[in-house]
């Protein structure tokens, strides 16, 4: 039976990641696509860019790329397509026309609550939404154009990182400001990391053998961007990020929640356009400072939270403070969401790069919320099962009233799965 190819594309400000999947068009819509390869170009803003490629047993770890060939997202995509179609070990994708779907992670989708095929009208609506998230949507739209140029037969599909949170109750999503202005300018809490939370919900439901519609979770997606989500009956009822991903937990270069008036005391140029602004992308000094010049980078000089954790243990005061701030803010959300769920919590779930790798952080967070009935097994916390999608690190038969889990989240796989599920509806008309 011939298979069709799906690309799941994640465009960051300085990187481009593409995962390749295949699926059989006549298989049931509940079937999962097969992962074939993952390719990533990083360092686009700090050349030379480097390539990472994984296909089965074939791996390229960190290959520098010629600056003359790869110096932008467009040239990175061009390089990626050439690399994939030239790989004899990937016969499913020997020509750009073999790609049926290109799935794009779009951070801010406004009121879109499900994936949509990108046509001219949709593209213009997404461009308009870039005013809400100038730092986050521009990269995805650049790659949509590149796919349209290089892979004209592919259907471009937008997957929105805020869509999972369309179930937020009105009180949770509404800001206490003039509602006429709020509605006109679409100012409300949207929430993000939705593809990750959808993957976590589905994976944990399968792990616990509980229907997703009966699942209550406190989920933590902790990476260079970090957020928390309160999931009741398989749906989002609150989340830490807000109108943009800046709200809530601090991150590698983001401040997280601060007193809104702080920025006017920090700089007198808060409302002026940042030098990072470009045509069609208006970024103020305030957005630049709080999104790009804050977080752990500002506190410690590094964005590597693994290094921060290690130095905190060794007594480095700045790293200890950054570590403690992160733990403090995370526990605030865990406690609040525990109350929102009335104590009926199936699991506290750690995910994202730091959530999955940071044993020290997991232990510190769980110790802070031990009074709520969470506890980790020290051995399992230090060495979770690297092969399993979901691993239980909670203390067995001891003081742990609720499960503590680690989930290896996969936003690329979630896009491919949702694409297969609704392939007929998303496919471009012949």
Point out the least confidently predicted range of 77-86, 139-148, 264-273.
264-273
Tokens of 412: 């690329």
216/223 Cα distance (integer angstroms)? 22
pTM: 0.94
Asked if residue 280 has pLDDT above 70, the reply is no
Asked if residue 42 has pLDDT above 90, the reply is yes
pLDDT band, very low/low/confident/very high, at 398 (cuts 50, 70, 90):
low
Per-chain mean pLDDT for the chain: 93
Residues ≥6 apart with Cβ < 8 Å to 50 = 41, 42, 43, 62, 63, 64, 65
Residues ≥6 apart with Cβ < 8 Å to 270 = 263, 264, 284, 285, 286, 289
The binding site for ATP consists of: 17, 221-225
CA 254, distance to chain mean position in Å, is 15
**Beta pairing partners, 217:** 231, 347
Asked if residue 133 has pLDDT above 80, the reply is no
- Identify the H or E element spanning 55: strand 50-55
Asked if residue 30 has pLDDT above 90, the reply is no
pLDDT digits (tens, 9 = 90+) for 167-208: 999 999 999 999 999 999 999 999 999 999 999 999 999 999
Give the model's pLDDT for residue 408: 97
Q: According to the CATH classification, is domain 201-256+294-407 in 3.30.420.40?
A: yes
46/53 Cα distance (integer angstroms)? 19
What's the rounded mean pLDDT across residues 34-57?
94
Give the model's pLDDT for residue 90: 97
The binding site for Mg(2+) consists of: 10, 411
Asked if residue 134 has pLDDT above 80, the reply is no
Share of the chain above pLDDT 90, in %: 84
Give the model's pLDDT for residue 254: 95
Asked if residue 252 lies in contact with residue 225, where contact means CB atoms within 8 angstroms, the answer is yes
Task: Cis check for the bond before 48: say yes or no (omega within 30 of 0).
Answer: yes
Asked if residue 54 has pLDDT above 60, the reply is yes
The binding site consists of: 10, 17, 105, 221-225, 411
The binding site for substrate consists of: 105
List the catalytic residue out of 87, 161, 346, 392.
161
Give the model's pLDDT for residue 384: 87
Question: Which carries the bigger pLDDT value, residue 246 or residue 128?
Answer: 246
pLDDT digits (tens, 9 = 90+) for 57-106: 999 999 999 988 899 999 999 999 999 999 999 999 999 999 999 999 99
Looking at the domain 4-160, which fold is it? Nucleotidyltransferase; domain 5 (3.30.420)
Domain ranges of the chain: 4-160, 201-256+294-407
Asked if residue 54 lies in contact with residue 69, where contact means CB atoms within 8 angstroms, the answer is no
pLDDT band, very low/low/confident/very high, at 279 (cuts 50, 70, 90):
low
Residue in 138, 242, 238, 225 with CA at minimum distance from that of residue 187: 242
pLDDT band, very low/low/confident/very high, at 281 (cuts 50, 70, 90):
low
Same CATH topology for 4-160 and 201-256+294-407: the answer is yes
Give the model's pLDDT for residue 31: 78
pLDDT digits (tens, 9 = 90+) for 316-372: 999 999 999 999 999 999 999 999 999 999 999 999 999 999 999 999 999 999 999
Angle in degrees, CA 310, 219, 315, rounded to 5 = 15
- Look up 324 and say whether it is catalytic: no
Tokens of 373: 């009935």
pLDDT digits (tens, 9 = 90+) for 214-268: 999 999 999 999 999 999 999 999 999 999 999 999 999 999 999 999 999 999 8
């Amino acid at each position: 039976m011939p298979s069709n190819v799906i690309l799941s594309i994640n465009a960051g400000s300085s990187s481009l990641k593409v995962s390749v999947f295949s699926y059989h068009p006549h298989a049931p819509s509940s079937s999962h696509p097969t992962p074939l390869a993952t390719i990533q170009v990083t360092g686009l803003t700090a050349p030379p860019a480097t390539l990472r490629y994984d296909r089965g047993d074939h791996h390229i770890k960190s290959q520098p790329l010629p600056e003359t060939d790869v110096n932008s997202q467009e040239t990175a995509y061009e390089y990626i397509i050439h690399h994939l179609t030239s790989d004899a070990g990937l016969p499913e994708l020997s020509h750009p026309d073999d790609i049926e779907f290109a799935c794009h992670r779009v951070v801010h989708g406004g009121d879109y609550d499900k994936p949509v095929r990108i046509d001219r009208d949709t593209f213009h609506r997404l461009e308009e939404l870039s005013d809400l998230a100038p730092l986050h949507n521009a990269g995805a739209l650049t790659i949509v154009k590149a796919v349209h140029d290089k892979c004209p037969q592919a259907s471009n599909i937008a997957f929105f990182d805020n869509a999972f949170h369309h179930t937020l109750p009105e009180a949770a999503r509404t800001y206490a400001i003039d509602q006429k202005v709020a509605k006109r300018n679409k100012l409300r809490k949207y929430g993000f990391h939705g593809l990750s939370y959808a993957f976590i919900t589905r994976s944990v439901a399968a792990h616990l053998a509980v229907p997703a519609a009966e699942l209550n979770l406190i989920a933590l997606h902790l990476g260079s961007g970090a957020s928390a989500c309160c999931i009741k009956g398989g749906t989002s009822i609150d989340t830490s990020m807000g109108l943009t991903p800046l709200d809530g937990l601090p991150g590698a270069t983001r401040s997280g929640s601060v007193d809104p008036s702080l920025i006017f005391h920090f700089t007198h140029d808060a409302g002026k356009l940042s030098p990072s602004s470009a045509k069609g992308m208006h970024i103020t000094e305030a957005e630049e400072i709080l999104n790009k010049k804050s977080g752990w980078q500002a506190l410690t000089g590094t964005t590597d939270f693994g290094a921060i954790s290690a130095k905190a243990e060794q007594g480095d005061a700045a790293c200890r403070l950054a570590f403690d701030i992160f733990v403090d803010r995370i526990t605030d959300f865990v406690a609040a969401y525990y109350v929102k769920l009335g104590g009926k919590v199936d699991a506290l779930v750690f995910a994202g790069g730091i959530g999955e790798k940071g044993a020290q952080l997991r232990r510190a967070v769980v110790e802070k919320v031990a009074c709520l009935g969470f506890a980790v097994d020290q051995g399992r916390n230090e060495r979770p099962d690297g092969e399993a999608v979901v691993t239980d690190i909670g203390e067995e038969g001891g003081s742990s009233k609720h499960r503590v889990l680690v989930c290896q989240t996969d936003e690329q796989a979630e896009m491919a799965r949702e694409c297969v599920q609704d392939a007929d509806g998303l496919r471009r008309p012949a």
